[in-house]
């Protein structure tokens, strides 16, 4: 694990709790998804928890983040309600978007989570707008855009990089490179797999980190936030990571709807790099946290996920009478 900084024990415990909370909330959805209790498409974040946890630990409630189709982890790490997220996934009235958005439209403005959307690269320009607003106001807020490696084929990415660089906006571009754009390997999409290099022509500081090492992500994000708050943004962070579940749902092979082309040996190799047991091993071997303390964090995260699931199942569905309530006429 990374050791560049001296880390407070409370920070390390919070990082582990955040990652476990994300994992538990994702994994508890597998049965409801498979038995069709959940109808909204769910892009699970299992395996990528270190990115959301590491970046969000460097931001505050006033900072902005924008997500993607795979944003359960971003929402939870930014402080979003597990109950609100789960109810939204179950399309219930008590969901964070009133049950009208589903898994891919999570939002919590009070925590700075201004939205997620399934449009590939679609929220990057929105994050740019938020960064521009912060720049104009001079309020030191930072705006972070999360996007996958597949988004780098979209022109909006380069237009946003150009504009952010021109005005030195307080924006962090966080590319979660999980090596696959839907079911296409990065080798079939890009001539150069080093995505961080796309920021170089714009004279933007760019770093490439092990996205399964939460402390390396944290270090990179902390440096990026400090630069942005001091008027030296933007910053581009490429996090190399890997999803442990299917592109949509738990398993791409369910009902023959998709085929997971990832080689079994590759999957097994990345399972050994799972960010959660990897971080736990570091904490234990370094004498920072005992096994009972780690187990207690696991139980706390599990209880939170179970509570959220029960809350969602017991929440009311939106009334048919309100079908057009939020529709402009």
Mean pLDDT confidence for 79-100: 94
Query: Rounded to 10 degrees, what is the CA torsion of 236, 239, 240, 241?
Result: -150
What tokens were used for 239? 């996090």
Q: In the block, which residue shows the tokens 């994992």?
A: 23
Q: What is the pLDDT of residue 182?
A: 77
Q: What is the pLDDT of residue 186?
A: 78
Residues in the chain: 329
> For 282-294, how does the pLDDT look when each residue is reduced to its tens digit (9 = 90+)?
999 999 999 999 9
> For 120-131, how does the pLDDT look when each residue is reduced to its tens digit (9 = 90+)?
888 999 999 999
User: Domain boundaries in the chain?
Assistant: 9-315
Of 167, 96, 154, give the one whose Cα is nearest residue 125.
154
CB atoms within 10 A of CB 256: 6
What tokens were used for 297? 């964090």
Query: Rounded to 10 degrees, what is the CA torsion of 210, 275, 64, 250?
Result: 120
Q: What is the pLDDT of residue 197?
A: 94
What tokens were used for 7? 């880390």
Q: What is the pLDDT of residue 6?
A: 85
What tokens were used for 24? 């538990």
What tokens were used for 172? 């962090």
Instruction: Give yes or no for a contact between 225 and 142, defined as CB atoms under 8 angstroms apart.
Output: yes
Q: Rounded CA gap, 90 and 119, in Å?
A: 21
Return all residues near 148 (Cβ < 8 A) that are at least 6 apart.
Answer: 68, 70, 120, 175, 176, 177, 178, 181
Range name among 75-79, 99-103, 131-135, 174-178 with the lowest pLDDT average: 99-103
Instruction: Give yes or no for a contact between 108 and 80, defined as CB atoms under 8 angstroms apart.
Output: yes
Q: Rounded CA gap, 67 and 106, in Å?
A: 8
Q: Rounded CA gap, 21 and 10, in Å?
A: 16
How does residue 2 score in pLDDT terms, banded at 50, 70 and 90? Answer: very low
What tokens were used for 146? 């999360």
Range name among 63-67, 192-196, 211-215, 240-244 with the lowest pLDDT average: 192-196
Note if the pTM is more than 0.85: yes
Q: Rounded CA gap, 40 and 91, in Å?
A: 8
What CATH class does 9-315 carry?
A: alpha beta
Q: Rounded CA gap, 73 and 52, in Å?
A: 6
Q: How far from chain centre, in Å, is Cα 259?
A: 24
């Amino acid at each position: 694990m990374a050791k560049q900084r001296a880390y407070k024990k409370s920070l390390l415990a919070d990082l582990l709790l955040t990652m476990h909370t994300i994992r538990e909330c994702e994994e508890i959805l597998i049965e409801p998804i498979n038995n069709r209790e959940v109808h909204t498409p769910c892009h699970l974040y299992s395996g990528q928890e270190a990115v959301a946890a590491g970046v969000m630990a460097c931001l505050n409630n006033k900072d902005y983040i924008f997500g993607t189709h795979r944003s359960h982890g971003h929402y939870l790490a930014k402080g979003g309600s597990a109950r609100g997220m789960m109810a939204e996934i179950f399309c219930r009235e008590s969901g964070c978007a009133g049950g009208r958005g589903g898994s891919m439209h999570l939002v919590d403005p009070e925590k700075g989570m201004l939205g997620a959307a399934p449009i590939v690269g679609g929220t990057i320009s929105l994050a740019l707008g938020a960064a521009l607003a912060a720049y104009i106001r001079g309020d030191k807020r930072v705006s972070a855009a999360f996007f996958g490696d597949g988004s780098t084929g979209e022109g909006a990415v380069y237009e946003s990089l150009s504009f952010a660089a021109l005005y030195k906006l307080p924006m962090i571009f966080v590319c979660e490179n999980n090596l696959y754009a839907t079911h296409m390997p990065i080798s079939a999409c890009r001539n150069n797999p080093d995505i961080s290099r796309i920021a170089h022509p714009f004279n933007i500081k760019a770093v490439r980190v092990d996205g399964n090492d939460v402390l390396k992500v944290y270090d990179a994000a902390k440096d990026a936030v400090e630069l942005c708050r001091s008027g030296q943004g933007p910053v581009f962070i490429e996090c190399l990571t890997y999803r442990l579940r299917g592109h949509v749902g738990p398993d791409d092979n369910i009902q023959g709807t998709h085929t997971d082309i990832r080689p079994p040996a590759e999957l097994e190799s990345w399972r050994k790099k799972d960010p959660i047991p990897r971080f736990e091993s570091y904490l234990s071997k370094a004498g920072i946290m005992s096994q009972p303390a780690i187990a207690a964090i696991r139980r706390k995260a599990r209880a939170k996920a179970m509570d959220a699931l029960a809350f969602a199942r017991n929440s009311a569905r939106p009334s048919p009478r309100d079908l057009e309530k939020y529709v402009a006429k």
